[in-house]
Chain A
Amino acid sequence: MTDMPDLATASVPPAKAPTAWRGWLGSLAGRRTLLAVLGIAALAVLLAVPATASSRYIVYLGTLLALHGVLAVSLNIIMGFAGQFALAHAAFYGLGAYTSAILIRDFDLSFWASLPPTAAAAALLAAAIGYPSLRFTGGIHFALITFAFGELIRLVTANWHDLTGGPQGMQLGFSPEPLLGIDFGSTRGIYALAAGLLVISLAIAAAIRFSRFGRSLVAIREDEVLASSLGINVTANKMAAFVITSVLAALAGTIYGPFVGFISPEMMSASDSISVVGMLIVGGLGTLAGPIFGTLIFMGLPELLRVAKLYRLVILGLIIIAVVLFAPKGVAGVIDRLIRPKRGGAR
């Protein structure tokens, strides 16, 4: 994204970056606080309602939202922070679900024991895809390679009948075993897992954002050549971000398995990867709260628009278009702008 020929990048005031560079404490004092508070409030609602609701539907909806939240938050690390277009996210989500399910089926591992090898497999694959494609500057090369690899993973999954059950998918009978006295096998337990992973992902994203690593990523996003002249190892940083992003998606996939009880190659389709990208952009790229807003809009809005039945996805589409055209920094940007005047002197 370095030498984009147009005004879009230029419209981001470069003066903003140093504010973030002051780190967590510095930004707490800034107007970002309110945005952060709102983000945390949205997250709290997302987490608290299903945890206390008696309806299993709410718990399911909560799990669905939390899993997609993990996808959005993790994709934000490579896309929002480092400015790299990754289009294989759904493939890693599916890879996690399949790897864990196959390990549990063929090697008799417990759900928990299947997590480290699954994460390792995702990390390896991400590194293998990332190394050849991230050496190039600019996002498009990487976008296309991840897109092609994502589809390739889906097609291989659909064709490798002996291992994956082919296009008919796998029926899963397992549920996570109790751990530390908590029953993770129940509907609510799986929700707790998904919500827990969301909180962990957010914590990782926040930690990255305000670390030296995160600052390097932002520097890479703003100008790769400049970043590299500042002594930042551009390829290594981008790869690290991509590996973290992909591992988190794969871990979300391991929870998807017992949540739905059924996995099929369809969960890896490119359109699902693209829709996570959409969540990020609508919510606000590169912000911590943005992915949460995006998830709520993408997954929550269709629920609210039930009356419109056939037309609710049309309405969602229109809302997405409107947000992008009239609020280019996403919902997080809108909230940011709304709260700015109230803070008076704050820049």
Chain B
Amino acid sequence: MGLDIAQTLIDGLMVGGLYATVALGITLVFGLVGILNFAHGQSVMLGAYVTFFGVQAGLGFWLSAALAVLAMAAFGAILEQLVFRRTLGDHMAGLAVSLGLIMVIENLAAATFSPDPRFVDPPVSGSIMVGPLQLSSQRLLVLAISTALIGGFYLFLQRATLGKAIRAMAQNRQGAALVGVRVSLVSRTIFTIGSALAGAAGALYASLFAVTPYMGNTPLTKGFILAALGGLGSVPGAIAAGFLLGIAESFGSRYLSASFRDGYGFILLILALLFLPTGLFGAGKARV
């Protein structure tokens, strides 16, 4: 029993890391730049496809994953330039525009890649024993990568000049502009980073799960729940919420009903919104 609980906990942490990576991108873009990008999940999907085609072309998983990150960074920069720069801060417009983008990207992907599911060979396979626990190697690897991504990003926000500029902008846009932060450049950078994170998440998703043109919806839904749960714009909140959701889903599916899997997250979110309206750490903005 105790062993079972421990294993379920680790299962939860593993998917939680994936969720956190997606949520980080959403919370960054939404919380800091005020862009509501519902098409974020489609960046995850495209990243997964880049990885799939890279592996198929013989580039190997790691190179393909790097390619996915770069491609999605470029994609994000282009989207920001062409579309989202014009909807800055206007949530209604941002939502409508991302709705259009979802239609375009999803249907183009289905038409060109076909709706059939594709599988990517993971870089490592099988499982390893850690004490009495049997753990999936690839999942452990995904957990390690997502933790590294999240940690690296957190350091970047704290230490790098650009990271400090981002935090300054999150606190006060006008103030940041006054002290010489180039707001539009920083906005574009945030969008690019968010999209690159989505590309990374896509590569990780592809290493575990099937790749389809419609795979973007789940990460998106989860990502939004998490961004909200963590307090919009709060980076540590989104990370904690990601792991929390992964664990809640794992325990719910293991000990309650697996057919209600996504429901646990929604219940968690509703409870949190009712009782902790400013997010897990009280750091987020209830008002946007």
CB atoms of A and B under 8 A apart anywhere in the complex?
A: yes
B86 touches A325 (CB 8 A): yes
* CB-defined contacts of B232 to chain A, threshold 8 Å: 140
* CB-defined contacts of B83 to chain A, threshold 8 Å: 321, 325
Distance of A288 from chain B, by nearest CB (Å): 18
B99 touches A278 (CB 8 A): yes
Question: CB-CB contacts of B101-117 with A at 8 A, as 1s and 0s?
Answer: 11111011011000000
Interface of B is mostly: helix
A151 touches B262 (CB 8 A): yes
Contact check: which of A4, A159, A274, A321 meets B91 at CB < 8 Å? A4
Kindly count the residue-residue contacts between A and B in the assembled complex, taking CB atoms under 8 Å apart.
148
B281 at the interface (CB under 8 A from A): no
Question: CB-CB contacts of B223-244 with A at 8 A, as 1s and 0s?
Answer: 0110010001000000000000
With CB as the reference atom, state the residue of chain B lying closest to A137: B287
Q: How far is the CA of A325 from the CA of B88 in the complex (A)?
A: 11
A141 touches B97 (CB 8 A): no
Question: CB-CB contacts of B74-105 with A at 8 A, as 1s and 0s?
Answer: 00000000010011111111011101111111
A169 at the interface (CB under 8 A from B): no
Q: How far is the CA of A270 from the CA of B101 in the complex (A)?
A: 16
Contact check: which of B93, B99, B105, B257 meets A274 at CB < 8 Å? B99
Given A8-B93, A85-B91, the answer on whether A148 and B269 have CB atoms closer than 8 Å is yes
Question: CB-CB contacts of B245-266 with A at 8 A, as 1s and 0s?
Answer: 0000000000001011011001
* CB-defined contacts of B260 to chain A, threshold 8 Å: 155, 159
B147 at the interface (CB under 8 A from A): no
* CB-defined contacts of B267 to chain A, threshold 8 Å: 152
Q: How far is the CA of A129 from the CA of B204 in the complex (A)?
A: 36
* CB-defined contacts of A156 to chain B, threshold 8 Å: 263
Distance of A322 from chain B, by nearest CB (Å): 8
With CB as the reference atom, state the residue of chain A lying closest to B261: A155
B277 at the interface (CB under 8 A from A): yes
* CB-defined contacts of A199 to chain B, threshold 8 Å: none
Interface of A is mostly: helix
With CB as the reference atom, state the residue of chain B lying closest to A8: B90
A324 touches B100 (CB 8 A): yes
B101 touches A281 (CB 8 A): no
* CB-defined contacts of B277 to chain A, threshold 8 Å: 136, 141
A11-41 contacts to B (CB < 8 Å)? none
Interface pick from A170-178, A309-317, A335-343: A309-317
A102 at the interface (CB under 8 A from B): no
Given A138-B287, A152-B266, the answer on whether A281 and B92 have CB atoms closer than 8 Å is yes
A267 at the interface (CB under 8 A from B): no
Interchain residue pairs with CB less than 8 A apart (17): A4-B91, A8-B89, A85-B95, A136-B287, A139-B288, A140-B232, A152-B270, A159-B257, A282-B96, A310-B107, A316-B103, A317-B104, A320-B100, A321-B97, A321-B101, A324-B87, A324-B100
- Show the binding face of B for A, using Cβ within 8 Å: 34, 38, 83, 86-93, 95-97, 99-105, 107-108, 110-111, 173, 217, 221, 224-225, 228, 232, 257, 259-260, 262-263, 266-267, 269-270, 273-274, 277, 286-288
Given A7-B89, A321-B83; 5 other pairs, CB 8 A cutoff: A148-B225, A151-B263, A159-B257, A282-B96, A317-B101
